[in-house]
Structure 1
């Protein structure tokens, strides 16, 4: 599909990307280099509430459009525990339990270590996910957080700058990954919103972990404040055109 020339109109390109026709652009696993938590260079950073998690190896990675995180380091920050038996990983917190098959759709193996879908963890244990594109920082946040996303970004800006992978940069796909060589990158924008359909668009973007930029009109901002709040909270670009 993507062999078509990029003469398609912007709205058609946006539609194709939202419904996953270009999500396969990233073919492999994005891993970070390094040997220790203090020296590792990362492509993606993950925080739980007010704390950035410093992983050893493997690092968080995006596979088939899903962000996977090392289970032990991540669930401990959620006050949960993990136990493996007979091909099943059970992650527990109080009376809540998430059971995953390893390996499986939501739990994969990398260098003998188990990584799980961050989205599965947040959905099960009551967190929301925010995303800071400039820092490639995903944050699982609930009511226990004290810092805003902006304050968290400032708190860890030096660490992220020092540890962010600085290899030859490829175009960003907008969801924390980079495009494979030879693939096309499409930047999604929506104009003249928000409107009654914006919530449905955001739902689809969220399911596919895709980011977009929304160019909004002043009167529409006033009419749909909850949509504007969600656009910003979920890490999309926002701009006012009038």
Structure 2
């Protein structure tokens, strides 16, 4: 029996062969036409991770990866889709590189301590947020922060990639009715000056609000014009509790302050420079014994005796400023150096009595000539500048001579100190540790002037102001 061939099967085999040749031809064409083969045309990388373009190259026909160049800049620290291209044999192979963020933020929560009714930011409930993109913080719900008590709140942190993390914490809500404390609002007298810092020396504290706000109503205050001004201070905490205080600032004309004008009033101003020291307590006891007041021009350096500044102030004596260092070479080297030194002793005194005195005495007096060795003409400048800045300086018009040496005979100090003939006497003494005979001489000096009808006062705003002639 004779077999005949199956035309259908033959046609099928022929078709498969043709298809194979077409596919093979296409691949050969593609290899010749596109000698660079890439794995992907859309590449995704995590933000902050490095971009390795060579890893996307599948094959290079007629060459290697080193012969492929790159075109385009990818900001791996910023979300977005960036155009990029491989360049091989003068042909570009474009791809897209997408920088994404798929990692949720990591953070910690803190408990909240809230005043009832205050505005609460969700940021105050989180800390140590870690994420490679910017984040926003919000509460999961609109919580009631008006009712005192403790509640649980949920905080959500979302990054730019849309990833979110959430945690819960406790919020304690407190009804605060305590007003802020306003300190330093004492009445003061100043001399005319271009400007005066109304906030200087003022402190606001609150039992719960660390950022209580201070507001000042100046009421047309002009520190350059003599007059009496009422300044209103108010401190407000985040719960709305408010403390208000009024302060009287007297701007006193400093006209005629350079005169040594006398009148019929017989007043002795005992003034002690260079303390506090081991002698200060003894001097205070003698002054109390005779019921007289004095003035202490204090310096720095004797920190163990600083509490005696407060003691003298509490006993009704006047505290004034001499200098911190009493170092002529430093304080008279420049105007800035002088005021830095003065500010330093001022701050020390403020710690003891709560304010910075405006009465001062130049080391060596305004007539000193030693300052010429360090800065020519500086005393002429300082004598005017201190008054512009609200200070008044006091020289002396009689001298106890205790500066002539240590342990001078008591009789010599008494003889010198009691030789004054003017009705108003500002007598220079020293409160240094080596001036023990000054202490011993003090009772005789006080008794001498008391018997002659003098009264004793500490320096005050209306005191006699002796100014020397300026010699530099």
TM range (shorter): under 0.3
| Bigger-Rg structure (1/2) | 2
TM-score normalised per structure 2: 0.16
